Structure 1
Amino acid sequence: MKTQPCFTLAATTLDAPNALELARFYQSLLGWLMVREEPGWVEIAPPDRSAGLSFQTEPFFTRPRWPSRGSEQQMMMHLDIEVNDLSSALGHALALGATMADFQPQSDVRVLCDPAGHPFCLFVRT
């Protein structure tokens, strides 16, 4: 019987109009390390160097729309970020340049958009 190869998620990559600017936002938000930077490509990771986030400059980037609307660029994915204090985490994210999404579907989760428009959620695990 053939054994299955080993797969390890190394990163999630977000396209942006400027990879370095968006990487700096998430680096400040999460307190992670910048582990690789080259023109149009940046990687950040947690201190233990487990799966991180990568950012790629996309010259034709179109801001996603959330909640989605028929003909506009839809959100293809989002990040769920666990925090220990929703109120202070929200304030921190907003101070770094995030914006609050108009639609908030849950009272215990805050949906925000990063500076490039990617939605992400902050939540406290209950």
Structure 2
Amino acid sequence: MPPARVSTVVLDAPDAHELARFYRRLLGYVVRAEEPHWVLIGPPPGSEGVALAFETEPDYVRPVWPTRRPGDQQMMLHLDVEVDDLAAETSRAVEAGATLAAYQPQDDVRVLFDPAGHPFCLWTEAGR
């Protein structure tokens, strides 16, 4: 086993529970732990995937992508979510509460924003 490994990605949000609900719908994850200002979700037992945690940050500022002006809150990271059917999963993500980004840099990737404004990408192996 390596000396260290990433176990969880944590995203700040104005409401941790609201953002956790969105990613549960998007990914089919289940709640693993929950506190008033923090939620941990992950794949159902027996499934693979990276756990996600959400922490309420009262002073949260939505990132701007792509960055337009110096001083904009920059995107610090984004999640890449592999899908089989890009069009269908993009529609499903929007129905779950995501917003499609106006700028789409690649044909085999869709950039979306979660309800807290974090960019994430849906992508398909078909184009790679």
Q: 2:24 aligns with which of 19, 23, 27?
A: 27
In 1, the alpha carbon distance for the partners of 2:2 and 2:41 equals 26
In 2, the alpha carbon distance for the partners of 1:89 and 1:49 equals 19
Q: 1:66·1:119 contact (CA, 8 Å) conserved in 2? A: yes
Shift of 1:51: 2.8
Instruction: Give the alignment of 1:92-111 within 5 angstroms.
Output: 92-111=92-111
Query: Which residue pairs with 2:51 in the alignment?
Result: 52
1:64 aligns with 2:55: no
**Matched AA of 2:119:** P
Shift of 1:8: 2.2
Q: SS in structure 1 opposite 2:122?
A: strand
Which is further off, 61-70 or 40-49? 40-49
Q: 2:3 aligns with which of 2, 6, 14?
A: 6
In 2, the alpha carbon distance for the partners of 1:61 and 1:78 equals 16
Q: CA RMSD in A?
A: 1.5
Q: SS in structure 2 opposite 1:9?
A: coil
Residue-by-residue CA offset, 1:11-63 (whole Å, 9 max, x unaligned): 00000000000000001100011111101100010123753100000000000
- The 4+ residue runs of structure 1 with deviation greater than 6 A are none
1:74 aligns with 2:74: yes
Query: Which residue pairs with 1:83 in the alignment?
Result: 83
Q: 1:42 aligns with which of 21, 39, 42?
A: 39
Structure 1 spans left out of the alignment, 5+ residues: none
Residue-by-residue CA offset, 1:47-106 (whole Å, 9 max, x unaligned): 237531000000000000000122210101000000010011001000011001111111
